[in-house]
Amino acid sequence: MQKKCYQYGQQVIAILIIISLILHWKILSGIKITSLNATYNLIAIPWFSLSVCTAWGLWHKRIWGFWLLYCSLLYSTIALSIPIIPFLSSLFPLAVRAWVMIGINTAVLLINIWLHMKHNKHNKHNKHNNLGESSQ
């Protein structure tokens, strides 16, 4: 079970990020070149870029995908109040949705930390095996 979670966990998180991007596409509709929207552009463009790069890195199981997800989770939570797992926070009353969103993003953060540790352990194990084979 742990092997399957490790094997597909990064890709599941990448899919959730893409779904979140699709659901929050309206954030990008406010991007304009006028000076009134300069602050909005400073929030929306980096979020979109960071989310796309994070999803790509996690889907292709790159180590930098983990690091970008840490940044993306913080940015989504603090700057935009967007949960990574869509729909779940809408099941709760409006008064507690902010806390639910923080809880959801924290849970995804903890899962990402676990996957990151598994990724590092897996790479160390493979590197150690490759070194042992080349010395024989």
Position 42 confidence tier, pLDDT thresholds 50, 70, 90? confident
Residue 135 pLDDT: 47
pLDDT exceeds cutoff 90 at 39: no
pLDDT exceeds cutoff 70 at 58: yes
Largest distance between two CA atoms of the chain: 66
* Backbone φ, ψ for residue 14 (5° rounding): -60, -40
Residue 21 pLDDT: 87
Residue 29 pLDDT: 67
pTM for the full predicted model: 0.75
105-125 residue pLDDT tens: 999 999 889 888 888 777 776
pLDDT exceeds cutoff 80 at 91: yes
Indicate the residue type of 84: I
